[in-house]
Structure 1
């Protein structure tokens, strides 16, 4: 219930972190408004869940579903949703990153279910990080690197140390890709001898060709081991999982495409297909009843693995998929699903690439004459006069759309609106791909036309 006078609440943010929240206009009628106020007041970016202290039950805390339960001088507890990340598929422990919450346009996105062991949170790194090996292996490598630096003497490895190195490196590779390509193995082998020069191979044209080949074989063996243990991402390609007509090792292999990081994740720990289907039905009810956004967000994150396995295994039509997962076609969930699947912030990456290539795009567009130049004249004037980054981005995108021969009025209703979310859907993804591949002008146009 909203109050016309000022209200004050005791807010418990942590074990040793308690604040006072003053609400000049009283307690908001909407729970989302209250959560938004708490976020802005205390600088929180994670997904929040609130609990209130109920005096009727001995001051125990209960989940807050309506602000009608609150009153002046009441106490609420803030529970911040955290993202848990798996170190490797062979490890049963899951580490928590409570302070590393992912924010995109002030909205929180959970990469996957908190208890899923198969979520990847990063794309393949530019410089592959060589992991730390066992203690005795590290001792020999330190000694070998010192001797190599002094007298160019290479280290002679025992089979046990060589096996330890390969095992640790392959586990690190799997953190990023289950099916790395030849170029990835080259990158890893080069990073290995760069960090440990004593591991260079005499007679090799680049000093690491043998390491690349060993890593390839070791990666294949590692996948086989994980497949036997029931890793969903790999067992989907086993002969048992294929139909009789497709029961061949090289036929219809399901693996990530392009930059997909979480192609076929496993169900969260303790969940089954039946429990996931029940969660999906509850999610449909939440969408129809327009329940709180954080409830829908949590359930969408929890059912990510179930949704991905449905896409890969059944390949449903878009209409059927939309009927089963209507929440996925909302703007916030599109961004969240892109992050869960690709481990990339769609909007952040798009606008970052747009800022990098804006000057080159503007030069190409200014060189265009005729009716296109006349249509862009007013927008270019606004672009030249403003320093607001959001307005400049909007101007660049609008003139680019006109340059490509599209009707910008159908996509942008008002150029003065400073809303970054005007450009979404396929246009955002297509333009992001153009900018990522450094395409401009005619090349960019031909890419979007296809």
Structure 2
């Protein structure tokens, strides 16, 4: 499923029923998978007509949720009446605040979930709230259409009791928090330049599969989640790709760029090794069903100038089916570049008679861990001639591959 940024944002705001916690199948983005929480295919979620803050998959869910939703719904309607009493400028600022909170939910879902420790032993999402204070720059173009810019002042993960002590005086009824859900973060957003009663909005963001991704794909990776939220608010950009969100070391960018150069430099030898390993042209039908996969080991050291140098070597190599190779691409994160796009570009889009070769460096986060290339069969004749001149014994191709590819020194 290919979604525009606008469609992705709308999807992120309306994909889950706030009562039964089941979601639309489209939340799985590029995949066609269906999970236990998926609603029937023909389900449409509808919002509460009074406050537009809650979403439901059925009238029954809306009725069941009403005892919990009553306070929120009443407060929302009271806010609408209150902001009118403060004049057009406050009304415009509060409306802009509400629009901002909806627009940026998608972009902060990943860093917020990371900051909460979802998928790790330090997961506090079931007991804590992400509290975000905003600084607001007021650019008044006219009284009719004022403009506002939002910057992050402070963001901290705090307990429900702390939030209650800070904000209970602003509400007539006791604060009732949303129930914590798996892979979800409860967020309170504050613009304290607004009058009391209008200065807080709260919502829940969901990061699908975050627990599995964090524990299985990125167990040792790092993410400056606070700086990501700060830069996202300041820049107003679309959500970043996964590889721009996580890192292992300061050398990642140089290492990934070096892997690409290493693949380009050794592409001819890699293709020839793949031809021998796949036993072409005897097994030519394997071109449509198999892939040549090389896992590399990358050593690195820092120079006196602060740059990094690397030495690459072949760890192991094998022929694998395309279906098995898909396991290398791990999980999709909806609305981010992930498995679906990479599978298409490396395994589906190349001509069926191409030999596909993939290099895997497990020392950097997915998807930067994978580099790929494909060579069409029209070039195979040249490679057969070159193989005849080079020492590439069929039974010792892995030894020949290491001899040709392994770096002798750091570069």
TM-score band w.r.t. shorter chain: under 0.3
Normalising by structure 1, what TM-score?
A: 0.25
Q: Which has the higher relative contact order, 1 or 2, with Cα contacts under 8 A spaced 6 or more apart? A: 2
- Which has the larger helix fraction? 1
